[in-house]
Structure 1
Amino acid sequence: MKNKIISKEPIGLRLPVKSPYIITAHHYDLYPKGNNKMEPTYYIDGRDIGQDFDESEPWRMYHGKKIPGFPVHPHRGFETITIVEEGFVDHTDSDGSTGRYGNGDVQWMTAGSGMQHCEMFPLINENSENHLNLFQIWLNLPKKSKMVTPYYKMLWAEDIPIVEEIDENNKKTKIKLIAGNYKDIKAPNPAPDSWAADEENNVTIWLIELEPNAKFSLRPTTSTASRMIYYYSGDTISIEGTELSKNYAAELVSDEEILITNGSEKSNILLLEGEPINEPIAAYGPFVMNTEQEIYVAFNDYEKTQFGGWPWSAGDPVNPKDSGRFSKLKDGSTEYPPKN
C-alpha cells in the first residue's frame, strides 16, 4: 500500500512549506490583560525588548517595545495572508491605509513592487487576557506579477464560508475556506494578481476543525501540487492509520484521498495546497525575487524611495482602543465587517 505521508516533523514558530509558499509563521501568544495604553500589564523578566522571539515563554513582544508586534518594515515580490483566529492586529501601510482586524478575519496583501507595512498586536482587554492565535503565510508571486501595484483587501470572518461535514458516526468537521473551494462552495476572491487568482493553480488554504473522534477525507488534487498540514491544536490525529501528534507538520501526497481520524479531543489543522511556481527563487530578508540581482535592486530601490515613504508619525502606530474592526483604504473610503 502506498505511503501517503511523505514526511513529518515537529513545528515551532516557523512551519515547513513547499512552493508556492515561502514562509508560514504561527504566532500563538498568551498575552495578559492590557493597560489603558494597550500594553501588557507586566513584562517577563529578562526579555529582549525589540528582539523577543523566545518560544519557551508564554508570549513575545517580537519587535514591539511597548505594544507587541512588528513595526514598519518593507516587502517586495510576494504576498502575505494573515489569518487571525483569536486576538487583534492593527495594520498601517505606506499607501496610507489602516485598520483593525481579528477574531476570525483574514488580511490578503500583495506587496508586489514594494510596500511598507506595520502589524501591531494591541492588548485591548483590560479585564481579561488577550490571547493571540495568528498564522501569517507568505505566498510567492510569479515573475510576471512580482512588480505589480501593491494591494490589500480584508476577508471579514462573516464573509468566509464555513462548511460542515457529518461522518457516518454523526461526528462533525468544519472547514473554513480562506482560499480554494470545497465541493461547490468557493472561498472569497483572493487579491487580483495572486497566484491563487487562477483556479488552475489549485491554491487551497483551509482551517479544519474536527470534533472528538470525527473522520474527514481530503479530496485528491493533482500529482504536481504540494500538500502540507499543520496540526496545531488537540492531542492526536491519525492519517491513514499513522498517528500524528499536536505541533507536528506532515507533507502528504496530493493526488489521492487521505483519511484523517481525530482522537478524543477537538482538533484544529491548517491545510496548505497549491501548484508550485516553477521559477528560480532568490530571497533575502523581506524581499522574494527570482535572481540575486533583483534582490540587490530591491534593496537599492528601498534605500532611494522607501517604497513611497511612511506617512505615519510613528513606526509602530496603533488605532484607538475603541476603534472596533475596520479597514480604511488609500482612497479614503472605510469598510466595516458586514452586520449579519
Structure 2
Amino acid sequence: MARPILAVRPLGFPWETPDPFLFCVHHRDAYPAGNEHLGPAASLAGRNLGQDFEIKDGWRMYHGNVVPGFPQHPHRGFETVTIVRHGYVDHSDSLGATARFGPGDVQWLTAGEGVVHSEMFPLIHRDAPNTLELFQIWLNLPGEDKLAPPHFSMLWNNDVPHANFVDGAGRTTDVTLVAGSLDGKRPPPPPARSWAARPDTDVAIWCIRMDAHAAWTLPHATHPAAVRQLYFFRGDALRVADDAIDQHAAIRLDASADVSLVAGKTECEMLLLQGRPIAEPVVQYGPFVMNTRAEIERAIRDYQRTQFGGWPWPKDDPVHERDAGRFARHIDGRIEKPVRDYP
C-alpha cells in the first residue's frame, strides 16, 4: 500500500496551503488584562506601533495603536474564514456590517469585488488575562466569482457541528466542522458564491482534537481531484499511518486514502484543509488576489477611486463597548445574536 504522506514541512508564519486555499495564519497572543480603552494594561514602550508583528512579552499589537488588531484595510478576489478559539474579534466593514464574535464562532467574509474591513481584538477582561487564539484562512475565488458582491456571515459556536468518535480504549476524537460534512453532520452552508458552496469541490475545514493516545481513521475525500493538508500544531507527537511526527508540521496527505491517526502522550490538535483545486493563475498584491496583473492594477485603481464603498465608521479601528456581548449587525440592519451567550 502506498505511503499516504506526500510531504512534511515545518510550520511557518503564515502556514502554506494548497490550492484552493491561499494561506492560513494562526494567531496566538497572551494578552494581559485590558485597560479602560480595551487595549493592554501594560506599557507599549519599545513597540513598533502600527507594524508590531514581533512577539514581545508574549503578544503583538499588529497594526493597532491602542487596541491590538488590524484597522481598516481592503480586500478583493477571495474569502476570509476566521475561526476563533480564544478571545474576541470586533469586525466592522464598508458594507455597514459589524459584529463581535468569540470562542467557537466563525466569520465567513466574501470580499468579492471589494470590501474594506477592520478586525480588532478588544481586551474585555480588566481583571484577568485576555488570551487570543484564532485561525484566519484565505480561500480563493475562481475567476468568474472574483467580482461577486461582497457577503458577510456568521457561524455561531452553537451552530457549528461536532463529530465525535471513541476508540476501543474509550479515548475521544472531536472534529469541529466549519465546512464539509462528516459522519452525517453538516455545518451551515457557506456564502453562495464561495468555492466551498459548489457541490463538486469537496472543500473541508475541520478542527481535530484527539485525547492523548487516541486513535482515529481520517476518511478519504469524496472527490478524486481533492487535495488535503493536515496541520499538526498542538501536542507532543502524532502518528500518521506508519510515520511518527515529532514536531509541529504541515503534512500533505493523499486525499484518496483513509489515514490512521494516533495521538502522542498529550492531547493533540490539528487543522485539516481540503478541496478540489481551482487550477487558475494566482496573482497577489497585498490584499488583492486576482488571475492577472492587469486585474490587480484595476483593483488598485478601483480602490483608489471608490474606496470600495467608503468607510462609514468614525474611526479606522472601531471597537464595541466592553459589555456589548456577541452579536452581528448585517448590512440590512438586521441584528443577529447567538442562541446562547457565554456565562
Task: For residues 138-188 of structure 1, give each alpha carbon's deviation from its aligned partner in whole angstroms, at most 9, with x where no partner exists.
Answer: 000011111111001000000000111011211100010000000221111
2: CA distance between counterparts of 1:266 and 1:73?
Answer: 37
What is the TM-score normalised by the length of structure 1? 0.97
Q: Give yes or no for the alignment of 1:84 onto 2:84.
A: yes
Q: Residue 39 of structure 1 aligns with which residue?
A: 39
The SS at the match of 1:185 is coil
Give the superposition deviation at 1:30: 0.7
Q: In the alignment, which residue of structure 1 is the partner of 2:280?
A: 279
Contact in 2 for aligned 1:13/1:55 (Cα 8 Å): no
Q: Distance in 2 between matches of 1:291 and 1:56?
A: 39
Question: Do 1:79 and 1:139's aligned partners in 2 also have CA atoms closer than 8 Å?
Answer: yes
SS of the residue corresponding to residue 123 of structure 2 reads coil
DSSP 3-state at the match of 1:303? helix
Asked if structure 1 preserves the Cα contact closer than 8 Å seen for 2:154 and 2:328, the reply is yes
The answer (yes or no) to whether the contact 2:97–2:152 under 8 Å persists in 1 is: no
- Superposition pairs for residues 104-143 of structure 1, below 5 Å? 104-143=104-143
Q: Counterparts of 1:66-81 in structure 2 under 5 Å?
A: 66-81=66-81
CA distance in 2, matches of 1:245, 1:43: 37
Q: Cα RMSD between the aligned structures?
A: 1.3
Give aligned pairs, total: 340
One-letter code of the match for 2:307?
Q
1 CA distance for matches of 2:147 and 2:314? 28
Opposite residue 336 of structure 2, the aligned amino acid is: E
SS of 1:199's equivalent? coil
* Aligned counterparts of 2:43 and 2:194: Cα–Cα separation in 1: 39
Q: 1:296 matched to which residue of 2?
A: 297
Q: Structure 2 CA distance, aligned partners of 1:321 and 1:76?
A: 31
**What secondary structure, in the 3-state scheme, does the structure 2 residue paired with 1:200 have?**
coil
SS in structure 1 at match of 2:174:
strand
The runs of 5 or more residues in structure 1 that have no matched partner are none
Using the TM superposition, name which of 166-175 and 245-254 deviates more: 245-254
Letter in 2 for 1:205: I
TM-score by length of 2: 0.96
How far off its partner does 1:241 sit?
Answer: 2.4
Deviations 1:278-310 (A, max 9, x none): 111111100011110000000000000000000
What's the counterpart of residue 230 of structure 1? Answer: 231
Change in Cα spacing, 1:245 to 1:36, as seen in structure 2 (3 Å) is farther
Aligned to 1:60: 60
Residue 246 (structure 1) shift: 4.6
Tell me, yes or no, if the aligned pair for 2:84 and 2:134 is still in contact at 8 Å.
yes
Offset, 1:44: 5.9
SS at match of 1:133: strand
